[in-house]
Chain A
């Protein structure tokens, strides 16, 4: 039941939002809706029994597809992340005004519906449906409310992701036709005995869609542009949660269904991911725009997660699992800071900023904490995830860990550079009249900071929540 609620609440409130013309009201409405989702999500952590976690109803019986949802440990974690993220995003961007705000918030809530559906679906066709439902609103949000270059950028985003989706759809149908049960359900798909050749073909039909979504090198060039041009609220959804769709899909659908091919090509995929980590970190070092810096930093972090997933051992996979959550929290924290800076000073160019720490010490302090989590300093959440991931990658092959490890150093370089250029030094014409953040904003960043430390000091509950998902995945992979 709770699984269904997680979808229904944002869906209904989202549709209603389209009809609330008053900007203030629709903002409140969206916030209340997202908070309601959060309550349900927390409820689902408390009641982990079948009655609450599973929902199934006939949907398209002739096609062998049903409306089935299920919550496992990984699903609980990712729906929780999503449910935490949206209220944070709504509060942090509360001051931004949008033309046709009813449509903006309606689309945001529809995107939330899609994301929840992706994490909950236990039917492949339903999964695909939600996958698109999450993406299409993002496309509109960027093309309508984005920056100056939004049209070509959204077009690129559209081409990339829909090309991936299209090939995946063909793959889904192909998989359906060779399934003797003629069913899309997760359990029946897990049971299909695929020939090596079929595995090979199907793997490469699914993988590009997920690789683009994460994204990993060299499928990533849509991402920095899209992050830069989208309204920040959308960027937060894209980077904090939507990239997890790619990783999630690899864990839920790709590895268990095509383990042999995944194993066969592990070196190529890990190789590209690791090269991409260094590549993206290097590029991050020469960015001037804060949004692009965070975007490339994220590509590097996601590269590590993807590489470790294909290394296929339990230590690393456990790291990926909790890092999906932690990365979401940290990057949303970074975006909140970027948003606050841009709103106040009207620029995201580091070369034009400087000395903000004198004017906004609280903002500076909170940013430093989030930035330190971004470089995985011990006792912050990212350390636990990265430690386990590197350990797993090391176990798979020493040299991958060594090369990927260089990104730890590079991350320190670009992150500290950013802190220095934006916050330290003397104020200039742009920043001399800066003021510190208000209570609302402090509250939001404090939530992020509390999550950073609690997950960094006592990660045990999160590890236990996802342990079963890790075990079953690693079991399949062997």
Chain B
């Protein structure tokens, strides 16, 4: 069974092959063929992943070295894959959810022309390839390949409809914001090379104990800068809501289920370094919590169905960082998993609504879709309950695990966290009620065309709904049953070193834990009931005022960034170009030139003036002299 891990390269290779076939053959392949190839490679990839997962579950793990990537001097960076519990779990999420979204896309993107349809699937496969590299990489450099690769695919897919300038701007913004984070990641890698002489996980983590806390704090904070870019945290989160310009399945796959969780994966992978740097942990927790709240407040006032979900994603990612920051690594990874299920479900559900409504995304023009779209409605509702954290749905277990750990770190974290959870329940059910309940508010033409989506779209919805409902059962807390948290057991080797460092006595007693749980569930229920009551009858149609307007305009953060970074950068560049370059340096050089020219004009009177011909003769003369010398001597 062990040698099955040596076939790990098949998992990323298959999507790469799919990318090449669909990308190169986009003018020849029919849509059916493209769909079969695009989905087929992922299905096989998923099957191999399951096989590998089972092997890892039975106790195997390995670093598979493929070839030397970069080696110079003492530095050696192999192309290696780390196959263990953490990466194999992510393999399942990426290929599994990825496959469902590929399948969904075959129907959702059907209106596209052949070549563009193939381009879409090629990009999607390339994304999966990059994401797999990211989680499989056995060192930070290979991880970085995937890290930038997913950023590229995100860029390509956000700008998929490239005729639209707004979409292109959104795509570019995403790439640049990610690049800012990537610089932090790279600097961390260089620092690591200097300190550890290696970037391989095994070597770095085993040597981490002997490195000063200050250095580790620096490295982990720089890595976290990378995470804020990729996982849309303060201050680099503003690209993610704009990224909704991409096709909806892309939002589901990249901007909800997988890519944006890369930052969480990276920190969970580096848990040893973070555990050794408590200051960084606090920063991660506080930034995560602040993002969770900030994004939740914005989500309350958004009217675009995808924008609500986008801010919700930013907010949920904030919770995951809170979990990482308070040392609940398993909880954070658990939430990545459940979030992948219910957020992919919600996005695909939103896609189904948008599909039925002929590209309408404003919830003010929806309402009463419950009857016309029964499957979408039911699955969407289950997703909403899951994200709101109502037991026994999946979101409850993972969010509770994070909040319980946050309470142990500081009750203030818990209070703010629960407030955010309440807001989550509120805006999700505001969205649900405005969309599916009440009466239809769209045009007659839209009403006439309302229809449930085809099976290729509803099957993924149903599968994801089942996962969103049941997925939490792999992580049942100790309060309910001893040893029922199978995820914790599975992941324990990854976090063993950190656990050893923080020999924590289980502080929270069981009655208290149940009390906290009950409190958060009750508050969420109150928010749900309030939202449903308020928005099913009288949806919010008028423009917001006062604080609501500030929220609707996202706290004006985009405007702020433009004023303090965008505009000054442009002004400086223009100044460099027009003043320093043209008048300064060039002025000086041209001054010399004019002087020389003046002098030569005087000298020229002695000559015929054909400088060009002189030099040509000079060159030819020299060449001839050289050749003569060569053969005579």
Contact = CB atoms under 8 A, between A and B. Distances in A.
Interface of A: 11, 15, 57-61, 67, 110, 129, 132-133, 136-137, 139-140, 143, 155-156, 159-160, 218, 221-222, 279, 282-283, 285-287, 313-315, 318-319, 355, 357-358, 361, 372, 377-379, 384, 387-388, 390-391, 394-395, 398, 401-402, 405-406, 408-409, 412-413, 416-417, 420, 423-426, 458-460, 463, 467, 470
Contacts of A140: 612, 615-616
A115 B306 CA distance: 58
Contacts of A143: 612
B619 A136 contact: yes
Interface string B591-633: 0110011000000000000001001100100110010011001
Interface stretch (B445-453, B542-550, B565-573): B565-573
A129 B623 CA distance: 9
B168 interface: yes
Contacts of A285: 569-570, 573
A383 to B, nearest CB: 8
Given A156-B590, A218-B585, A221-B581, A458 B67 contact: yes
State the 10 A-B residue pairs at the shortest beta-carbon distance, nearest first. A314-B73, A318-B72, A394-B190, A378-B145, A282-B573, A424-B162, A412-B179, A221-B586, A416-B172, A286-B573
Given A406-B183, A416-B175, 17 more contacts: A57-B630, A59-B629, A279-B576, A279-B580, A283-B577, A285-B569, A286-B574, A286-B577, A390-B186, A391-B190, A391-B193, A409-B183, A412-B176, A416-B176, A423-B162, A458-B67, A460-B68
A116 B573 CA distance: 38
B75 interface: yes
B71 interface: yes
Contacts of B512: none
A275 to B, nearest CB: 11
A361 B115 CA distance: 10
A318 B73 contact: yes
Contact of B71 (A132, A313, A413, A463): A463
A308 B314 CA distance: 39
Given A420-B172, A460-B68, A394 B165 contact: no
Contact of A159 (B194, B574, B586, B596): B596
B630 A394 contact: no
B63 interface: no
A409 B623 contact: no
A378 B148 contact: yes
Interface in B53-79: 67-75
A286 B176 contact: no
14 contacts: A133-B619, A133-B623, A136-B619, A221-B585, A221-B586, A283-B573, A287-B577, A315-B74, A355-B163, A357-B162, A391-B190, A394-B187, A394-B191, A416-B172
A406 B572 CA distance: 15
B577 A408 contact: no
A223 to B, nearest CB: 11
B589 interface: yes
Q: Could you say which of B155, B168, B570 has the most chain A C-beta atoms within 10 Å of its C-beta? A: B168
B176 A409 contact: yes
Contacts of A357: 162
Contacts of A425: 162-163, 165, 168
B152 interface: yes
Contacts of B576: 279, 282-283
B572 to A, nearest CB: 6
Given A57-B630, A159-B592, A279-B576, A377 B152 contact: yes
A221 B582 CA distance: 9
A467 B74 CA distance: 12
Contacts of A132: 622
B70 A388 contact: yes
B593 A156 contact: yes
Contacts of A129: 622, 626
